[in-house]
Structure 1
Amino acid sequence: MTVRTSENAIDEIVASCNGDLRGAVKALLLINEHLEAELVQLYATAAYNGLAERNNNVLH
């Protein structure tokens, strides 16, 4: 698998929004919000299962 450079990734994101930079930023913000919500769920699950209390670095 070839690792894409940041520049290539940025170009692809902007292209997927038909060159609309504002749309690309909005899409990235929405994706970031979704990922943050997933992290909150993962941390809540880890805390519920006692992983956080055992000083376990499972999520780090």
Structure 2
Amino acid sequence: MSFQSSETAIDEIVASCNGDLRGALKALLLVNEHLEAEIAQLYAAAAHYGLNERNRHAVH
């Protein structure tokens, strides 16, 4: 992401919170928590799938 696009994104986020910087930070933290939870689910699914793949190859 370029500096200009980062600045634009920041301006848009703050504007969506009516100029409230604290509200913008809170919104970003909530989005970050959601993304971290999604990543954890993906890692869990990948680990589960990998375990099943190894078991399938060992049986055949």
Give the equivalent residue in structure 2 for 1:14: 14
Select the structure of larger CA radius of gyration: 2
How far apart are residue 33 of structure 1 and its match?
Answer: 0.1
Calculate the aligned-residue CA RMSD, in Å: 1.9
Question: Unaligned 5+ residue runs, structure 1?
Answer: 55-60
Q: State the identity as a percent.
A: 78
Q: How many residues align?
A: 50
| CA deviation after TM superposition for structure 1 residue 41, in Å | 0.0
CA–CA distance in structure 1, aligned partners of residues 27 and 8 of structure 2: 17
State TM-score, norm by structure 2.
0.77
Query: Aligned partners of 1:8, 1:41: CA distance in 2, in Å?
Result: 31
Q: Extract unaligned runs of 5+ from structure 2.
A: 55-60
Larger helix share, 1 or 2: 2
